Amino acid sequence: MAEIKIPNHVGIIMDGNGRWAKLRNRPRTFGHKKGSDNVDRITTEAFKRGVKTLTLYAFSTENWSRPKEEVDALMGLLEKYFLKFIGKAVKKNVRVCVIGDKKVFSPKLQKVIKDCEDASKKNTGNVLNIAINYGGRQEIVRAVNNLIKKGKKITVESISENLYTTKNGEPDLIIRTGGEYRLSNFLMYQGAYSELYFTDVLWPDFDEKELDKALDEYAKRNRRFGGVK
Ligand code: IPE
Ligand code: IPE
Ligand code: MG
């Protein structure tokens, strides 16, 4: 196989769990369970293909408006995910970071996230950012307020340095599954020049083959960043 241009940083909007379950006459939470099972598979495959940083959108600041039962199920799945990941991250040399406002999570979820982040802090391999209670607009407002508090100048660079994602924060490619053509408040600042890839495939069905399709498409894109190429 010829060498293809691999994106350094990929963001994924993991959408379509609810519809995946509905198609099977199952509750939406069943789709979330399937979706969470898919996270590990795609993470492993993406890193295997040379992606260095992955940022996964797991729960937006707007997702709190869903029925309590669904929100509780999602929080429960996240807890399980981090518990399972603590040992694995260390073994795989992956650094795990949660981006978003963590203060509102249950003490238990906050603890497993902290344990996972602490256990993987010194890992030097891949970076896995998980966006939970994350909103791109809120992130920009927070960054600007931090700068004002510190008496710093507001510049493109200083805002960038005060976002949740600092180093290598700008995704080369953003993939959205589930057939919607929008960003839904994901990486609003960092995504200014990201290549966007939309697929109708629902997140639980997004497998290695679908990942390769997205990477192949990325390899064909001509990134000009406003210049001429
Ligand atoms: C994405 O799947 C997961 C989250 C937003 C937490 P959805 O739950 O949005 O699934 P659809 O879009 O309703 O199918
Ligand atoms: C975006 O999906 C958020 C995540 C995938 C976590 P949504 O399902 O919340 O987005 P909208 O409501 O269709 O824009
Ligand atoms: Mg959705």
Residues 71, 63 contacting (CB under 8 angstroms)? yes
On the question of pLDDT at 2 being above 70, the answer is: no
* pLDDT tens-digit readout, 109-161: 999 999 999 999 999 999 999 999 999 999 999 999 999 999 999 999 999 99
Catalytic residues: 15, 63
State if residue 57 touches ligand 2 by the CB under 6 angstroms criterion: yes
- The band of 177, judged by pLDDT with boundaries at 50, 70 and 90, is very high
Burial of 227 from C-beta contacts in 10 A (0-12 / 13-18 / 19+): exposed
Residue 133 φ/ψ, nearest 5 degrees = 45, 45
Which listed ligand is nearest to 202 at the C-alpha? Answer: 1
Compute the distance from residue 176 Cα to the ligand 3 centre, in Å: 10
pLDDT confidence of residue 62: 98
Residues 115, 82 contacting (CB under 8 angstroms)? yes
Compute the distance from residue 224 Cα to the ligand 1 centre, in Å: 33
The chain-wide mean pLDDT, for the chain, equals: 96
Residue 4 structure tokens: 């293809």
Residue 119 φ/ψ, nearest 5 degrees = -65, -25
